[in-house]
Structure 1
Amino acid sequence: MASAAPRRVSSGSLHTLGYALLALVIFFTCFTFMKPSPYDFLALPTIALWFLLGIRFYRSTIVIVALLLIYLVAIVIALIPYLDESNSVDWTYQAVYLGLTGIFFVMFFSDDTSDRVGFVLKAYLAGALFAAICGIFSYFDVLGEDVLFKMDGRASGVFQDPNLLGSFLILSVLYLIRRMLVGETRQVFLSAMALLVLLACVFLSFSRGSWGACLLGICLTIGLTWATSPSRAIRRRIARLSALTVLVGALLIGGLLSMEGVSERFTDRAQVTKDYDEGETGRFGNQRRGIPMLIDRPLGFGPLRWRVVFDLEPHNSYIGSFANGGWLGGFAFVSIVLTSIFVGFRLCLKPSPYQGLAQIVFPALLMFFLQAFQIDIEKWRHLYMMLGMVWGLEAARVRWVFRQRSTT
């Protein structure tokens, strides 16, 4: 009996360390300008520690784990003819590493699900606010031109790509909006100010994909929350706050557009297509030429070799998955998307203790899947975190349903 207390203390200390390390990992997700980044240094020991602490695999997640493994195996097989090409090898290492982090997140979020997802969303919000502030500072050159990234007059901050910055912020935008809609936050003013910072940075990233994804994600989260709310009072609150959000958002955009240079950049970026999209050798032209070539190549072009053929990235993760991993990798990626969409909508629409969290996470993940038609998302670290959240929520929901049936 005397040794039990020290073991409990030790276990508690390790759990505290595990959560502290995980918070840092999630926060540093936004540090893409450093290679390797603090995320990469911290992720492996954090994952190892949580496996030591004990995370479990549930049968309800076998589909996503199997599909991720198939996707990774397909990429490795497609790499074999190009083992002498360092870029392809490095890209494959990174893809396998990120895919395995996805499996870790699935397992991690499958237990203590509400607490763990809530904890990570808070850590992610901290990182998103940091990234947004840096992005705004970079746009207005607050710290000088050489301190933070700014690409083609667009806010990038700690990201090298403004498109990635804008999309990175969407999850936290939805998190803040839903918490305010249903009254889950007592600090409404601070939440509103944080939301304005995030929305301002999304706008200043001048990413057309991020604009559309953010707007559609907000509409989906609000719509799902309203449709599944059992209370008329909450529905009225949602309607009022939604109208207020639209008004404040319009005022924010109007204020930003009144600033020198912003309206010109907005007009330029608001075009549906740009010069690099059009023509036979543009993005869409390359895709039209590449698809028939991929049909004739079961192993695709090999990892990161679309650029060797066309001098550009595919800017379409669905085409890219077939190019990088062949038919097997492509169908595995598409299956990951389709099964996750099915599970996500079920989580959002069927009553359970996890419905509210799903209505934050899944719309953001769905927006990434839609953006995958016009950008390469398979190397986004937070994609795998969100994938793990959705399937972890599903694992928890399945166990909850089983318990409900067992007691009736």
Structure 2
Amino acid sequence: MSAITYDLPPAAINAKLIGLISTGAIALGVLLSGFVIREPAPYELYMAGLIAVWSLFGLRISRAITPLVVLIVTFNIGGMIAMTQMADLMNTPLYLAVSLFLGFTAIFFAAVTEADPRLFRVIFLAWVTSAVFTSVLGILGYFGAVPGAEMFTKFGRAAGAFQDPNVFGPYLTLPGIYLLYRVLTGNPLKMAIYAVPLLIVTGGIFLSFSRGAWGLFGASAILLTGFLFLQSDSGRFRLRIVVMSIAAIALLTVALLVVLQIPSIAELFTTRAQLVQDYDGARLGRFARYAIGFLLATEKPFGIGPLVFGQIYGEDTHNIWLKTLMDYGWLGFASYLTLIVWTIAAGFRILLRNRPWQPYLLSAYVVFLGHIALGTVIDTDHWRHFYLLLGLIWGSIALEARHQRALALHAA
């Protein structure tokens, strides 16, 4: 009996191969986002090449993504105008180039996820993998468990493969929230698959001793739980959400009590848990600089130029709204404010619709809201993962627009 063979057309084989390569390329880019010990980081160099190659081979910007493109471009034009107010340009051209590049990464992720919604899963799995790995580095570094541990700590706090614990902690939040989503909604028999990496990631967030990261994760978890509760009409599912939330809180509380038995952790926790630090409330502390900066902004519609505020007052703005006014002028501020409001409104409108990509949108959206709040006490304009969040939400917005068009055509 002769063997039966099936010959696939070369075009189908090539299409499958191209799909695998492109998926792997995006996954690698997201993986690299968790390693920023030095700048330029591998992420920047890799993503610049990836975006360039993708643009040559058919990166499509749909009408639904156009507002994102326009607002990011006008935001950076504001920075270029602000640069004209500077007597000494210093490294400003490079700074604005990075701002524009990061904006392009948001556009890129929005475009590729709209083109292929399956990439949401790839991006989230890559982000979780990166977060677990860099969390392990931060935890091992904090306890001095590996040679060269000081490389993965800063100021006595876990930093993983990041330069700053205050960026390391927020970077871990989206993976932590996504894992929490899977714990709350997944098969209880498979809970350990998500619970173990969730504990590792939350351990990294805790040992970063970043008040912003603690608040970001806590607020995002509350929002996630609330939206899941509202989304479901099932009394059983709502009861499960309540029970699982109580169990998760109890588990984290026990873990916290255990680690606080370590004197060095308890001492640093007590210090970092204070709502207002000395550098916040001092005569020219963070809060005083806010008042000075916003008054100055009323006199400088074109801004004063990127990074100039820190040179004048000894510290950066530590407030994204003040930073946009100082570094990007009124035009940049208006563009950024419009982008944030548009993203929040458009994302909220589709947040609870039953779509294949809804779990990813919900996770990204609640973390994005937390980042907006966090931006009132820290500068987030060059956080790589912030633009990835932005791109994921706009990819979902574009997918919903395409879905509605398809429904309209079908109805006609």
Q: Which amino acid aligns with 1:151?
A: K
What is the CA–CA distance in structure 1 between the aligned matches of 2:286 and 2:172, rounded to whole Å? 26
Instruction: Give how far 1:375 is off.
Output: 0.7
Contact 2:38–2:163, Cα closer than 8 Å, also in 1: no
Find the partner of 1:22 among 26, 42, 52.
26
Letter in 2 for 1:19: T
Task: Between 90-99 and 323-332, report the one with greater CA deviation.
Answer: 90-99
Instruction: Choose which of 146, 152, 159 in structure 1 pairs with 2:155.
Output: 152
1:65 to 66, 69, 78: 69
1:198-256 Cα distance to aligned partner (Å, 9 max, x none): 11111111111111110010011111112102433322221221111011011111111
| Aligned counterparts of 2:245 and 2:42: Cα–Cα separation in 1 | 37
- Give 1:318 shift: 0.8
* Pairs within 5 Å for 1:22-101: 22-82=26-86, 84-101=88-105
- CA contact 2:65–2:107 (8 Å) conserved in 1: no
Q: Gapped runs of 5+ residues in structure 1?
A: none
What is the CA–CA distance in structure 1 between the aligned matches of 2:187 and 2:361, rounded to whole Å? Answer: 15
1:18 CA displacement: 1.8
Q: Does 1:401 align with 2:393?
A: no
**Contact residue 72 and residue 100 of structure 2 kept, 8 A:** no
- Quote how far apart the aligned CAs of 1:407 are: 3.3
Question: 1:287 Cα deviation (Å)?
Answer: 1.3
C-alpha offsets along residues 288-310 of structure 1, whole Å, 9 cap, x if unaligned?
Answer: 11111111111111012111221
Q: SS of the counterpart of 2:263?
A: coil
Whether the 8 Å CA contact 1:134–1:148 is kept in 2: the answer is no
In 2, the alpha carbon distance for the partners of 1:90 and 1:59 equals: 30
How far is the alpha carbon of 1:186 from its aligned partner? 6.3
2:364 counterpart residue number:
361
- Tell me which amino acid in the other structure corresponds to 2:80: V
Change in CA separation of 1:148 and 1:33 when aligned onto 2, cut-off 3 Å? same
- Mapping 1:54-203, distance limit 5 Å: 54-82=58-86, 84-113=88-117, 115-144=118-147, 147-183=150-186, 187-203=190-206
Question: Separation in 1 of the partners of 2:49 and 2:275?
Answer: 44
Is the 8 Å Cα contact of residues 142 and 157 (structure 2) preserved in structure 1? yes
Deviates more, 1:145-154 or 1:309-318: 145-154
> What letter corresponds to residue 341 of structure 2 in structure 1?
L
In 1, Cα distance between equivalents of 2:132 and 2:61: 33
The DSSP-based 3-state class of the residue aligned with 2:91 is helix
- Mark the CA change 1:108 to 1:186 in structure 2 (over 3 Å): closer, same or farther: farther
Q: Which deviates more from structure 2 when the two are superposed, residues 73-82 or residues 31-40?
A: 73-82
The residue identity in structure 1 corresponding to 2:19 is H
**Inter-partner Cα distance in structure 1 for 2:187 and 2:33:** 26
CA distance 1:392–1:83, shift in 2 (3 Å) = farther
- What are the equivalent positions in structure 2 for 1:215-254 lying under 5 Å apart? 215-254=218-257
**Could you tell me whether the CA contact under 8 Å between 1:102 and 1:388 is conserved in 2?**
yes
Unaligned runs of 5+ in 2: 1-7
Does the Cα contact within 8 Å between 1:25 and 1:39 map onto a contact in 2?
yes
Rounded to whole Å, the distance in 2 between the matches of 1:73 and 1:286 is 25
Q: CA deviation at 1:84?
A: 4.6
Q: Which SS does the other structure have where 1:299 is aligned?
A: coil
The aligned amino acid for 2:23 is Y
1:385 aligned partner: 388
Q: Deviations over 1:248-284 (max 9, x none)?
A: 0111111111112111111101111111112231111
Q: Residue in 1 aligned with 2:5?
A: none
Q: 76-85 or 201-210, which moves further after superposition?
A: 76-85
Compare 351-360 and 163-172 and name the one that shifted more: 351-360
* TM-score, scaled relative to structure 2: 0.93
Q: Deviations over 1:133-185 (max 9, x none)?
A: 11111211111455523222211121111111110111001111111222168
- The one-letter code of the counterpart of 2:30 is I
How many pairs are equivalent?
404
Tell me the distance in 2 between the aligned counterparts of 1:272 and 1:87: 34
* SS of the residue 1:187 aligns to: helix
Stretch deviating more after TM superposition (222-231 or 194-203): 222-231
The CA RMSD over aligned residues, in Å, is: 1.9
1:397, distance to aligned residue in structure 2 (A): 1.0
2:316 paired with 1:318: no
Q: Please give the alpha-carbon distance, in whole angstroms, between the structure 2 residues aligned to 1:400 and 1:57.
A: 16
Aligned-partner Cα distance in 2 for 1:157–1:141: 12
